[in-house]
Amino acid sequence: MIDVEDLIALVRNYNPRTNADLLHRAHDYGRLMHEGQTRQSGEPYFTHPVAVAAILTEMQLDDATIVTALLHDTIEDTKSTYTEVARLFGDEVAELVDGVTKLTNLQLSSTQSKQAENFRKLFFAMSRDLRVILVKLADRLHNMRTIKSMKPEKQAQKARETMEIYAPLAGRMGMQWMREELEDLSFRVLNPEARNSILRRFITLQREAGDVVHKITNDIRSELDRAGIEATVYGRAKKPYSIWRKMQEKDLAFSRLSDIYGFRIIVRDVADCYRALGVVHQRWRAVPGRFKDYISQPKQNGYRSIHTTVSGRDGKRVEVQIRTREMHEVAEAGVAAHWSYRDGQRSANPFAVDPAKWIAQLTERFEEGDHDEFLEHVKLEMYQDQVFCFTPKGDVVQLPKGATPLDYAYAIHTRIGNACVSAKVDGIRVPLWTRLRNGQSVEIITAEGQKPQSSWVDIVTTGRAKAAIRKSLREEDRGRFVKLGRELARVTFERFGKKATDKALLTAARTLGLPDEDELLARIGSAELTAQKVVETLYPELASAPDTVDATRPVVGLADDQTFQRAPCCCPLPGERIVGITYRGKGVVAHAIDCPALIDLEEQPERWIDLHWQSGRHAAVHTVPLELTISNAAGVLGRICTLIGDRRANISDLHFMDKKPDYYRIVIDVDLRDVEHLHNLMMALDAESDVARVTRLRDQKRRP
């Protein structure tokens, strides 16, 4: 559970003038009132009000709303009363808590009442202060996030109620991010087979169509740049539930769907909105009847944007939304933008709608029977190419998308990165592999004696961080790496009929911009540089023909924003059947289809991704550990290394596991092209008289 100090830190992040004493008192009172109560999961009940308050801090709401979240179940579920809440926290908070209680008591899930009537009840109940519905929506969102602890029939009831009432209401209020999450959580409960089917079909479509979103996004950016319009362009495929709903409404098979991609253009001012529209329509053919101008005719919730649908690349229909940055802020927060804080003051966004006028207009429209907006398509979440985070002093640090607290630490200073032991994001301690989001405040915790770990290289995304980590690791193991690098260089040079003399190594080092041969050998030994690359630098005529498959993207089936790595437990090779598993902070990890680690993941089908290797010739960069038992005799290890080099395989690491008077047991990490390359190498090693045993090492202790 988030403690009170972390919660206050979340509020203070956007409202430095928050009343910390008020939040402390509300937290202590709520915890006291709910003492002894538990949730279905067995957790203390008060974890729920605190989680609801934390959700509301994401909307940057005022202190009264945060306090209401902490107390929203006290009048209904404890011995607390309206009078006591008013005495302790004021009439404003008491009114809000009472309003949330009345909303909770509405029988919204009744199958006898129509959806419009349910909404009418909601509007009348929240008409005195719209913040009560913001608390109720956050309450429902947390309940849906933790719904698995409920009985199946209760899950289904809550999911239907959420899908029919709360998700459309969140959309109507302009809070599209909440609508999408509520719909997806409900869809997962009500029709998990359909949701998984959509995900599988989408993976197939992406594999067949290629990087469509990235290509169209670049096309739009190029056209806008040519016209001299400064803009940010985002694009992505639509959400599974949005696609499923369209299939049901239009009675279409997935393969016949169009308009499943959407793009958003953010420009400086209103004039640029219409200039950008002209550029889009000049470059692509507009689809008749699919143009809406919500700038000249804003929605009731303050939403402003231009919508158009065009036939894009390869005839695919795509939706394009065009708006200014201020319009975009309201599009993300909806009616809640009225209460948003910035530097301790209410945000003065000119497009934020007045809640009282909005609720009055909405109720009036209900009487007219206009329900079309409840069925509007779900709007797209934006992609962020960059992330802007804040230091504890308020300075801005710019990082690429997917950056972690470690990237942040190294962006501040290499010394801070090397000494990093943990991090706090928005006042909450998080793992170092956490992906940072825009606007978050990051605090790095360091300790004397801390040194970078080898696993950090796979956690960070910035080149600066990777270089700093590798440099530190090199310095720590420099002696071992120099010795190993010298042996690898000798073997590789001899394979090409050359000698790895000191002069040759120094010449190669200077050509590659390195200070001396020891640095060159250390990099070879640490696998940052291959010995073959050194040979090719000195003797370009010996360079092999380039491989046809891109080594950075050797598999098919990944989404545009997904990263890829091979599972360290099974180290699959091209030519072997694989499956992708999503891991938090690690992207997609490819496992061999027979990897025992998959047994533990059978009950989590949502994490499985259909992958297969790219066709063509792969580069020899796929590392596989081989365990060998060899004779303890002079020259044997050298001959083994030579044999491996002769098979066009590179040794990236070597460990002695067991040393006996008559034999050695060693593990050699070998970089290979594919499974055929592996079989040929193992057959050659097995035929060597000084090799008693050779096996491919699959270590289940080295799981992702």
- Please give the pLDDT value at position 223: 92
Which residue, among 551, 508, 514, 549, has the nearest Cα to 531 in the 3D structure? 508
Contacts (Cβ under 8 Å, ≥6 apart) of 178? 137, 141, 170
Contacts (Cβ under 8 Å, ≥6 apart) of 199? 240, 606
- Please give the pLDDT value at position 31: 92
**pLDDT per position as a tens digit, 577-596:** 899 999 887 789 999 988 88
The b-or-e profile of 168-202 (16+ CB within 10 A means b, else e) is: bbbbbbbbbbbbbbbbbbbbbbbeeebbeebbebb
Domains in the chain, CATH or no CATH each: 4-190 (1.10.3210.10), 194-375 (3.30.460.10), 386-473 (3.10.20.30), 477-542 (no CATH), 561-704 (3.30.70.260)
**pLDDT per position as a tens digit, 255-306:** 555 567 789 999 999 999 999 999 999 988 888 777 888 888 777 667 889 9
Cα 363 to Cα 124, 161, 225, 333, 529, distances in angstroms: 8, 21, 44, 21, 68
Which residue, among 93, 134, 169, 101, has the nearest Cα to 338 in the 3D structure? 134
- Per the model's pLDDT, the better-predicted residue between 209 and 190 turns out to be 190
Are 168 and 374 within 8 A, CB to CB? yes
CA–CA gap between residue 540 and residue 524 (Å, rounded): 18
Q: Is the pLDDT of residue 454 over 50?
A: yes
Give DSSP secondary structure letters for 337-349.
Answer: GGG-EETTEE---
- Per the model's pLDDT, the better-predicted residue between 205 and 92 turns out to be 92
Are 397 and 411 within 8 A, CB to CB? yes
Q: Is the pLDDT of residue 556 over 50?
A: yes
Dihedral-angle region of residue 416 (phi above 0 means left; psi in -120 to 50 means alpha; beta otherwise): alpha
Are 270 and 292 within 8 A, CB to CB? no
Q: How confident is the model at residue 315 (pLDDT cuts 50, 70, 90)?
A: low
CA–CA gap between residue 657 and residue 422 (Å, rounded): 33
Q: Is the pLDDT of residue 649 over 70?
A: yes
Two tokens, residue 305: 């944007």
CA–CA gap between residue 397 and residue 406 (Å, rounded): 13
User: In the predicted model, what is the mean pLDDT of the chain?
Assistant: 81
Which residue, among 582, 580, 685, has the nearest Cα to 624 in the 3D structure? 685
The angle formed by the CA atoms of residues 221, 386 and 584, to the nearest 5 degrees, is 120
Q: Is the pLDDT of residue 444 over 50?
A: yes
292 DSSP assignment: E
Which residue, among 13, 86, 87, has the nearest Cα to 56 in the 3D structure? 13
The angle formed by the CA atoms of residues 616, 620 and 625, to the nearest 5 degrees, is 125
Which residue, among 478, 540, 542, 537, has the nearest Cα to 505 in the 3D structure? 537
- Please give the pLDDT value at position 240: 78
* Active-site annotation, residues: 76-77
Residue 140, phi then psi, degrees to nearest 5: -65, -40
Q: How confident is the model at residue 378 (pLDDT cuts 50, 70, 90)?
A: very low
Least confident of 65-79, 162-176, 583-597, 637-651: 162-176
**pLDDT per position as a tens digit, 23-49:** 999 999 999 999 999 988 889 999 999
Q: In three state form, how does the secondary structure of 515-559 look?
A: CCHHHHHHHHHCCCCCHHHHHHHHCHHHCCCCCCCCCCCCEECCC
**pLDDT per position as a tens digit, 478-515:** 777 888 888 888 888 887 778 889 988 999 998 888 98
Least confident of 48-52, 192-196, 518-522, 567-571: 192-196
Are 190 and 159 within 8 A, CB to CB? yes
CB neighbours (10 Å) of residue 87? 11
- Please give the pLDDT value at position 114: 45
Place of tokens 């990082």: 399
**pLDDT per position as a tens digit, 111-170:** 444 444 555 555 555 566 778 888 999 999 999 999 988 888 889 988 988 887 788 778
- Per the model's pLDDT, the better-predicted residue between 282 and 362 turns out to be 282
